[in-house]
Amino acid sequence: MRNPMSPPRPSRAFTLIEMMIVLVVAAILASLALPAYNAHLRRAHRSEARAALLQAAHRLEREATASGSYANAQVPEALGSVPGGHYAISRQAPLNALDAANRFTLRATPQGAQAADACGTFTLNNTGERGLLENKAKVADCWNR
């Protein structure tokens, strides 16, 4: 039994002030880490879009090699979107029949939250020229990162 005259034992619980300090530190760390994490996710989605464009271009090249023309070559449905649905892959409509037979331009259009990305829409044509539409960033920065 405890003597009523002895000094009280120190408390082993956290005080409200200590809890608030921990919460503030955690909030500061989260506010620094979240933008970096989101930027990393956007870069990963861009990488998937670039790979899908290259796959679709390869497929069109194979079909054109077999038939001698790009006119009937289509992007397969399986390659029509990037896994996760962050980009939609499409073939730009040709200007005329001669363009349809001799050229193609593919687009990777950002979808959902990825639409806010500074790189915008990726483009790739039959000569291998890489470009961007509706972009705020440089082509080299977006295609090489």
pLDDT tens per residue across span 108-131 = 999 998 988 999 999 999 999 999
Does any domain span residue 11? no
Asked if 54 and 124 touch (Cβ cutoff 8 Å), the reply is yes
Checking if the pLDDT of 10 tops 70, the result is: no
Mean pLDDT on 28-33: 92
Mean pLDDT of the chain: 87
Does any domain span residue 1? no
Q: Could you read off the pLDDT of 68-96 as tens digits, one per residue?
A: 888 877 887 888 888 888 999 998 877 77
Does any domain span residue 10? no
Tell me which residue range forms the domain holding 106.
16-144
Does any domain span residue 2? no
Mean pLDDT on 37-66: 91
Q: Which residue has the higher pLDDT, 102 or 122?
A: 122
**For position 133, which CATH number holds?**
3.30.700.10
Q: How many structural domains are present in the chain?
A: 1
- Per the DSSP assignment, residues forming a β-bridge with 110 are 87
